[in-house]
Amino acid sequence: MIKFILPAIIVFLLVLFWDNINEIIFKKFNIKINYIVAIIIISILGAIFTLLYF
- pLDDT value at 21 more than 90: no
Domain that holds residue 35: 2-53
pLDDT band for position 42 (50/70/90)? very high
The pLDDT assigned to 32 comes to: 81
- Percentage of the chain modeled with pLDDT above 90: 35
User: How many separate domains does the chain show?
Assistant: 1
Asked if residue 46 lies in contact with residue 40, where contact means CB atoms within 8 angstroms, the answer is no
The pTM for the full model equals: 0.57
- Percentage of the chain modeled with pLDDT above 70: 100
SS (H, E, C) 19-52: HHHHHHHHHHHCCCHHHHHHHHHHHHHHHHHHHH
